[in-house]
Every structure is written in C-alpha cells, then in structure tokens.
Amino acid sequence: MIVAVLGANGQLGSDLVRVAKEFRDVETLALTRKDLDTCELASIPEALSGRRFDVLVNCTSYHKTDEVEGRATEAFRINSHAVGVMAKACKARAARFVHVSTDYVFDGESRQPYTEADNANPVNVYGASKLLGERFALREYPDGTYIVRVASLFGAAGSRGKGGNFIETILQKGKETGDVRVVNDIMMSPTSTADAAKAILTLAEKEAPTGIYHVVNSGSATWFEFARHILEEAEIRANVIPVRSEEYPTTAIRPFYTVLDNRKTAQVVGEIPHWKKSLRKYLIEKRHAQPRTVRAVGAID
C-alpha cells in the first residue's frame, strides 16, 4: 500500500512518514508544498496525476487560527475548496482519501466528549473552513473518504505554522522564568502525532469503513493541567499559575470544551494510549534526540 502524504514536512505529516516504517506493507510518498500547492486549485489534479499511490492523506491546512479571521477567502480556498478537489481527484483514480480535520468544528457547549455523530457548529473561521472541507470531501467521494479529526497535537517536528509545540514552549518558559501562566478554562484532548499517525495508517491498512473518525489520545485536560504535568514529567521546578482565557484575548473565539471521544476509532485500531503515557514517551525520546531550537507559541493554540 502506497500512502501519499501531503504536508509531509509538518508536525503530523513527518510522523506519518516516520511511523509508516513500522508497517511492513506500507510505503510512503512524501509530498510538500513544492510538489503540490493547495493554494493553486487548478494545479492539484495534475500534480497528483503523475504519482502512484493507493491512499492520499491530506495534512495540509491554513491553521493560524487568529490570522485566518482576517483572511477567510484564503482559509476557505485551502481548507475547503482544495479538499473537495483532492477528493474528486482520488475518486477518479479509485484511491482512498484521508482528510485531517480538527476539534474546532465544535462550539464547545458540550460537557461530555464529542462523538462523530454530534452536531458540528464552529465558532471561528478556521473551524468553519475545516467543516466545509469535510463536507466537500464527503460529497465528492463518500465511498472513499475518511475524515480524521485530531486535536491539540504535539510532535517532534513541531507545528510549522506556529513555530513549535505547546510542550516545548512550556519547558522553555519553565526553565527561563520559573513562572508559567496557562489558561485553565479550556478543556481539550492532548494528542501525540506519533499515536495519531499510527491510528491513521491502521485505519487505512485495515480498510475500515469510510466516514468520520476522532483520532486523539485517551483522556482530557485543561491547558493548565497539561502544562503542570509536562513540567512534573520533565522534573522542572516551576510555578504553574492557572488563569482565565479572558486574560489572553485573541482575535478568534476559542471553544471552551473540545474533548473528542475516540471509542469508534479504538474499535478499529485498538486501544489508544492516554495522553500522559504518550507525553512521557515524547519526553524520553526528546532526551535522546539532538537539541534543536524551538520558537515560542501561544499558550492556548
């Protein structure tokens, strides 16, 4: 099975390429923006036509949540219309299509984990553009599309658009200042890109029924709880101060609760680890990796 990965140099895409090496019958085709520019809709079919693959995984996205509030046209072109074009191109060649979406399709009004059957109702441009992308893909190719919703990702590559990941930001602030202020009123599903990649590849390998899947680690946390556990696991002594999100005003509205229920996915791929276990694994692997410079990112993105 040949899996083409769009956005192969990003946080999730790079782990898809890396984790695929653990699958005996999977090889990957790594594609970056120089190979296929999702801003140029007309070029997408041609860029894909000359490449051989059985599954296309779209990890590309315009995901700078605050920035896209003022660039809605660009957000909908990349996150919605380009996705529909990809799905149509996959259908034409009978290749399966995996589109990576987000927990931000939900409004955060629930207080129990969202299932794939729950009503989506985004509260910002980013979420709205991603939801429309889901719908375009399912409309164009219902029999061959997987919508994979992920959330609050952390991985070795960091987020290219945001300059790093939350863990590295917290570690850096903890070491440098000793005081870390983190919002405690937003609840989410911390998710390892390595675990998400493994689940995505397993869904494809097992030819699971098409449709929507929530691919997140088990468990949930506020950003404050996540930060506190990061520093504890890293054995960094720092004062973690819980604050309300209103102390960090943002251009885009953030939903206050976006915990995703991963039971449907687990029924296919097996038990998905708790985020605490995956965080520990991440930190252990990081200790054995070469040091690298990471720029800070916002505490609630």
Residues 258-291: b if buried by 16+ CB within 10 A, e if exposed: bbbbbebbbeebeebbebbebbeebeeeeeeeee
> In this structure, are residues 85 and 233 in contact, taking their beta carbons and an 8 Å threshold?
no
Q: How far is CA 76 from CA 44, 66, 81, 131, 298, in A?
A: 16, 14, 6, 10, 23
- Catalytic residue chosen out of the listed positions 114, 126, 213, 257: 126
Q: Where are the alpha helices (DSSP H) in 212-300?
A: 223-233, 263-269, 275-287
The verdict on whether 126 is a catalytic residue reads yes
Detail the DSSP E strand segments found in the chain: 2-6, 27-31, 55-58, 96-102, 145-150, 153-154, 179-183, 187-188, 191-192, 211-214, 221-222, 239-243
**Would you name the residues annotated as active-site residues?**
126
